[in-house]
Chain A
Amino acid sequence: MDLVTPGIGMIFWSTLFFLVLLFILGKFAWPAILLAVKARNESIRHALEAADRAKEEMAQLQADNEKILAEARAERDMLMKEAKEMKDMLIADAKDKAMEEANKLVKSARESIQREKAGALNDMKEQMANLSVDIAEKILRMKLEESKAQKELVHKLINEADLN
């Protein structure tokens, strides 16, 4: 059976050709191709990892932003509240002070009125006393002449006193 008997020529040539092919491709083709494929796979892996990392960072950043925003909002609310309190306090303060001032004014006015009144009363008392003395003096003088005249004098003196 020729078909299953390896011929020497074919063994020789196929060994030669295959080893030459293996040598040349093994030296010049396969390392270059395999390295290039590996390098690309590496770079793709790196790119994917970097993209993942960037995504994570992005998410992190977004979360941070949210947090900062929330903090800022809270701070703003707090500031507003404080300002409102301050305003209310100021207003209340001012009101108190004004009230106090007014009360003080009213009190001093009242005192001065009192004082004036007391002075006027004293004045009046003095004048009344003087007037009474004068009247009494004149009455005493006119009594001596007539009773009619005395009455007239009294009237006259009273009228005079009213004018004062």
Chain B
Amino acid sequence: MSTRFLAVISSLLIGLIFIVPGTLLYGQDEHPETEDAHHVTVEAHQDETGHSEAAEEEFDATEYILEHISDSHDWHILTKKDGHHVSVPLPVILYSKHSGLHVFMSSKIAHGHSHDGFQMGHGTIEVINKKGETVEKSLNGKIIEVDEHGALVEAGLPLDFSITKNVFMMMLSVIILLWVFLSLARAYKKMGISEPKGLAGFIEPVIIFIEEDVAIPNIGEEKYMRFMPYLLTVFFFILLNNLMGLIPFFPFGANVTGNIAVTMVLAVITFLITQFSSNKGHWQHVFNTPGVPVWLAPIMIPVELIGLITKPFALMIRLFANITAGHIIVLSLISMIFIFKSIFIAAPSMLMVLFMDMIELLVAFLQAYIFTLLSALFIGMAMPEHHHD
């Protein structure tokens, strides 16, 4: 137990070594980027909305932070002094009910350009939702399709399957995970039962930790083996994306595990596994909770059914909120420099960022662990050993 704990701590420390230089470079990198990026954004706004020049001087921390924690179609690296952007274009894949499937690079629609009628949206539109109410919908960061007159096409927004920043980093994380664990599996086959060396020695304690302290106590000795692949995959997937999200350079730093769609997918998969592996005891617990009088059933059954949904919902929100909040805090601390425009703020701000990054490092492990632990717990709860007496 203690050796496993030590291994986790040491992996934290090794992670720190990677993160510290990265943190120091936040400032260097982001300084020109943020101001000039802002500059350009404001200019782009001017074209469409005619904002005044005065707005250019203000540093909008909210916009800066939201830009960094949300997804984007290209990967902005930096902006040069002359206002020229350096960004990695990513493939845009759109399906429009109006004009079918479109695939092109994001550079085609950068800087307000239009390609085949597609362009980046700005501002808001009013749409009528299913209930017949009129709601405002933001178009920022979304690709819109316009006709020859510049008006939105009737079919609405195209379905966006683009390889965005998040998708790209997730793809990278999947490639890294496949590479690491497939080579690890090969190494294990080769070395037989000799002691783990190198990468295996580093990862094996984590695997054993998941097995002995997460899976077995929650699911039970007989059944846990079926769920180990899911638990391990979800743990390392979340962990790697959390860690990669903390590294502030291309191709890292995207907010994958702080994206509600990603956490939703993971939570839904946990939910599906939980329901499909559930046994009679689980449903008996839902519809006829032992020890509860029958006349309470009209209250208990809805409560239990809501309980089924709230578990994965909490999983989804917890991971999303923790990771996004971490990014927001770090970005806020960096924003302080540009809000105060003072070098004297820079040093304490960097120290705070360093401190936050260390906490985020802990959170990266913690949230991966919690998601895995709760998944195991829910799976275990859905297959009680015997009926309650």
User: A residues near B, CB below 8 A?
Assistant: 2-15, 17-22, 24-26, 28-34, 36-37, 39-40, 43
Q: DSSP class of B's interface residues: helix, strand, loop or mixed?
A: helix
Q: Say whether A26 contacts B233, CB under 8 Å.
A: yes
Q: List 13 A–B pairs whose Cβ atoms lie within 8 Å, in order of A's numbering.
A: A2-B140, A8-B160, A9-B167, A14-B170, A14-B266, A18-B233, A18-B237, A22-B230, A22-B233, A25-B181, A25-B232, A32-B188, A37-B188
Task: Name the segment of B80-88, B254-262, B368-376, B377-385 touching the other chain.
Answer: B254-262
- The A/B interface has a contact count, at CB < 8 Å, of 127
* A107→B163 CA distance, assembly (Å): 139
B143-202 residues with Cβ-Cβ distance < 8 A to A are 159-164, 166-167, 170-171, 174, 177-178, 181-182, 184-186, 188-189, 191-195
B160-A9 in contact (CB<8A):
yes
B contacts with A, residue count (CB < 8 A): 54
Closest to A15 in B: B265
A36 surroundings in chain B (CB, below 8 A) = 188-189, 191-193
- The answer to whether B161 and A12 have CB atoms under 8 Å apart is yes
The distance from the CB of B225 to the nearest CB of chain A, in whole angstroms, is 8
Interface membership of B248, Cβ < 8 A: no
Q: Are A10 and B70 in contact (CB under 8 A)?
A: no
Residues of chain B at the chain A interface (Cβ within 8 Å): 66, 69-71, 93, 138, 140-141, 159-164, 166-167, 170-171, 174, 177-178, 181-182, 184-186, 188-189, 191-195, 204, 207-208, 211, 225, 228-230, 232-233, 237, 259-262, 264-266, 269, 320, 324
Q: Is the CB of B204 within 8 A of A24?
A: no
B260 contacts A4, C-beta separation under 8 Å: yes
- Asked if B160 and A21 sit within 8 Å, CB to CB, the answer is no
Q: Which of A26, A31, A37 has the most CB of B within 10 A?
A: A37
Which of B178, B207, B262 is the one whose CB lies under 8 Å from A10? B262
List B contacts of A43 (CB < 8 A). 193
Bound complex: CA A12 to CA B161 (Å): 7
